[in-house]
Amino acid sequence: VSAGRKFAIVVAIAASGLAGLIASLTVAGASATESREAIDQLKAEYARPGAVPHPEDNAFTPERERLGRMLFFDPRLSGSGWISCASCHNPGLSWGDGLPRAIGHGMQQLGRRTPTVLNLAWAEALFWDGRADTLEQQALGPIEAAGEMNLPLDEMVKRLEHIPGYEPHFDRAYPGEAISPETVAKAIATFERGIVSGEAPFDRWVAGREDAMSAAAQRGFVLFNGKAGCHACHAGWRLTNDSFHDIGVAGEDVGRGALLPPGMDVGRFAFKTPTLRNVALRAPYMHDGSIATLEDVVDLYNRGGVVKRPSLSPDIKPLELTAAEQHDLVAFMKTLTSHDPEARVPALPR
Amino acid sequence: VSAGRKFAIVVAIAASGLAGLIASLTVAGASATESREAIDQLKAEYARPGAVPHPEDNAFTPERERLGRMLFFDPRLSGSGWISCASCHNPGLSWGDGLPRAIGHGMQQLGRRTPTVLNLAWAEALFWDGRADTLEQQALGPIEAAGEMNLPLDEMVKRLEHIPGYEPHFDRAYPGEAISPETVAKAIATFERGIVSGEAPFDRWVAGREDAMSAAAQRGFVLFNGKAGCHACHAGWRLTNDSFHDIGVAGEDVGRGALLPPGMDVGRFAFKTPTLRNVALRAPYMHDGSIATLEDVVDLYNRGGVVKRPSLSPDIKPLELTAAEQHDLVAFMKTLTSHDPEARVPALPR
């Protein structure tokens, strides 16, 4: 993807995010004080989708998912033979690693936090800076990155070809195709698309069970969509617009700015809006893990960010939330936690 | 455990191993050529046990197993927060790591191969050199070892105390007891005792299903218990006597010798007999991972080891097996592979 196209995307999405913010503030401003109908309208924006989308050129089959699961859990996809995708995207930690910043090959600490792989079937941009458009594009990056899994892709293919047990799985998943970076990426992407957060208290509330959320969390929902304006970016059932914003976190990492023409402000210090599904399970927060708790995250927004830069998103300004309102927002975010089936570690081919 | 007691154990077990070898050669020498009854007698020695044994001072409860599973998969039990027991005892690789020698904190390579945790409920000695007598004694070693998980135990306790989600699990597993190295070790040991290889083709054959093993594998079984003498040490349903032998692998690591009085040969270069259950899934082999395939392992034994040292076990001598016999032995070992339920990664407490 060219820098030019990426630039077009970030500007377009940033603009739609702003429009969404204005619309939502209007709707929710009314709903908080006036009507249950307005809340029901808001709820409709968060309805869960019916089915997981898979792309036409990599349609779902159980064989592809099974192969992808093996590859995801296989440490032989790293130079050391010791690091798998699951080493950092740990199913026990909501598919992240619980660390401020990721650790990779040689256990060197990397610059950014491990993002979750939860609910990426619907994602329009991958990595914190959105440098990949699809899971297929994303999957190979960490495998070959010297600081992450550190395995050149030609070496990866050779290794897999020398594990006899893999051959029938590739044959069944991608008949007539060779073991290649493309088939590896497709299989992993297929597995990842199946990693979907389950029904949470919030979903039961959206579906009409009034007692599924506390009064505090319900007030938090209204704030989220109104005074606090969170849903301008944390939109839809995944609670992300897949766009990029500078929200005023301190630090030198320009994020998406590195993909854009130099000298412009939009996109500098901008990072992808993360999903808030199961967010209570994924501390610490932000692209650099610099914020320890959800309470501190709300505090950051309440202050309108800690760093005022020309690139700061126009959505970011002091919210003037009371302590009680901040508490309610956190209570709402905690209703997004689902208790999902435990991930199973497959027997790896030998 | 004192070095003196360890010395007594190794001598006693080595002696019984030798006696077993002589007895088995006699029985199997007859059985191979003369009678089905002799084979049936041999089969009886490999019958699976009925239940998993748990010690009186750490009786099984589902709550203990559940807590132990969480701790086993929790990378916060390492100094880096990135390495869990399961990082090396990978359920997808038969609870080993598939590497010649283990990798630990800082990704430094250690001196010995990661042993499997399969079937350790019955083990009488833990670690390659047997320096622990019970799983409870063993469990904390890798956590605090600087080159493995690198987390001092007092720091471990503090961390667990600061994860609110762990408290109810400890309360239910060990009511009235504090979060401590002891309760952590007990819980992990309880989980590990449940890691038991399932029914393999060999077990079905032992139970009377003649077609569960090929003719080659059946010949291999007779060789295993006769001419090749493997079962002198690889005895019983787990195919290990939990004893220690120098089998003539090259290298400077004295193994159990480091625990014994200097100047004596018995025990020098001796390592614990590993289980052969699912052995085909756990290449490479030996304490140092120096042998790549089961065929090469059989070749080592056929040559009577590659290094002739005063410490060499008297059981180790050239076997004079033909190529066909070596093939049959490998065919037998491959019947020890079971297809076990996939391990589930628990949601880790936050």
Report the complex ipTM.
0.91
Query: In this model, does residue B1 exceed pLDDT 80?
Result: no
CB neighbourhood size of B112 (10 A): 18
For residues A251 and A257, the answer to whether their CB atoms sit within 8 Å is no
Residue B98 to residue A76, Cβ atoms within 8 A? yes
| Angle subtended at Cα B290 by Cα B240 and Cα B77, rounded to the nearest 5 degrees | 70
**SS3 call for B223:** helix
**Percentage of chain B modeled with pLDDT above 70:** 90
- A12: confidence class by pLDDT, cuts 50, 70, 90: very low
Q: Cα separation of B179 and B160, whole Å? A: 7
Cβ contact, residue pair A82, B76, below 8 Å: no
Q: Nearest-CA residue of chain A relative to B72?
A: A92
Distance from CA of B133 to the nearest CA of A (A): 28
* Reduced 3-state DSSP string for A16-60: HHHHHHHHHHHHHHHHHHCCHHHHHHHHHCCCCCCCCCCCHHHCC
Contacts of B342 (CB under 8 A, 6+ apart): A344, A345, A346, A347, B91
Distance CA B128, CA B270 (A): 9
pLDDT score at A35: 74
Contacts of A339 (CB under 8 A, 6+ apart): A198, B347
The yes-or-no verdict on residue B264 having pLDDT over 90 is: no
* Per-chain mean pLDDT for chain B: 91
- Give per-residue pLDDT as tens, A211-226: 999 999 999 999 999 9
3-state secondary structure at position A272: strand
**CA nearest neighbour of A297 among A285, A312, A309:** A285
- Report pLDDT for B231: 94
Q: Please report the pLDDT score of residue A222 as a whole number.
A: 95
CB nearest to B82's CB, from A70, A107, A345 = A107
Q: Which residues pair with B272 in a beta bridge?
A: B244
**Helices B323-334 + B294-302 axis angle, to 10:** 130
pLDDT, tens only, B215-253: 999 999 999 999 999 999 999 999 999 999 999 999 999
**Predicted pLDDT at B122:** 97
Q: Give the tens place of pLDDT for each residue, B183-219.
A: 999 999 999 999 999 999 999 999 999 999 999 999 9
| Predicted pLDDT of residue A9 | 38
CB pairs under 8 A between A and B: 91
With beta carbons under 8 A apart, name residues in chain A contacting B97: 75, 81-82
Return the structure tokens found at B276: 């052969």
Residue B17 reports pLDDT greater than 80: no
Half-sphere exposure of A137 (CA within 13 A, CB side): 12
CA–CA separation, B306 vs B301, rounded Å?
9
- Is B148 among the catalytic positions? yes
Q: How far is B295 from chain A (nearest CA, A)?
A: 15
Reading the block at residue A296, the tokens are 């501190």
pLDDT for res A154: 98
> Which pLDDT band holds residue A21 (cuts at 50, 70, 90)?
very low
User: Which of these, A85, A73, A83, lies nearest to A105 by C-alpha position?
Assistant: A83
Q: How confident is the model at residue A337 (pLDDT cuts 50, 70, 90)?
A: very high
Q: Do B347 and A281 touch (CB under 8 A)?
A: yes
Please tell me which residue of chain A has the smallest CA distance to B88: A82
Closest CA to B329 of B286, B289, B287, B300: B300
H-helix or E-strand spanning residue A68: helix A62-73
For A234-287, the pLDDT digits (tens) are 999 999 999 999 999 999 999 999 999 988 888 999 999 999 999 999 999 999
pTM: 0.91
Residue A248: closest CA among A322, A310, A333: A310
Rg (CA), chain B: 21
Cα separation, B323 vs B343, in Å, equals: 38
Cα distance from B75 to chain A (closest Cα, Å)? 8
Give me the mean pLDDT over the A96-110 stretch.
97
* pLDDT for A95: 98
pLDDT at A88 over 80: yes
Distance in angstroms (rounded) separating the CA atoms of residues A287 and A249: 9
Q: What angle do CA A99, A101, A104 make, to 5 degrees?
A: 95
Q: What is the pLDDT of residue B63?
A: 98
Q: Is the pLDDT of residue A1 over 50?
A: no
Q: Which of B249, B248, B247, B267 is nearest to B258 (CA)?
A: B267
Mean pLDDT check: name the lowest of A15-29, A327-341, B81-95, B299-313. A15-29
Indicate the residue of B76, B80, B93 with minimum beta-carbon distance to A103: B80
Helix or strand run (H / E) with residue B191: helix B181-193
pLDDT band, residue A2 (cuts 50/70/90): very low
Chain A positions touching B108 (Cβ under 8 A) are: none
Which residues from B are below 8 Å from A99, CB to CB?
81-82
Q: Choosing from B65, B136, B144, B148, which is the catalytic residue?
A: B148
Residue B26 pLDDT greater than 60, yes or no: no
Q: What is the mean pLDDT of chain A?
A: 91
Where is pLDDT greater, at B28 or A320?
A320
pLDDT at B262: 83
pLDDT of residue A263: 83
Mutate to test the interface with A, among B74, B88, B90 (most CBs of A within 10 A): B90
pLDDT score recorded for residue A262: 83
Find the mean pLDDT for residues B147-163.
98
Q: What is the pLDDT of residue B266?
A: 87
Average pLDDT for residues B263-291, to the nearest whole number?
A: 96
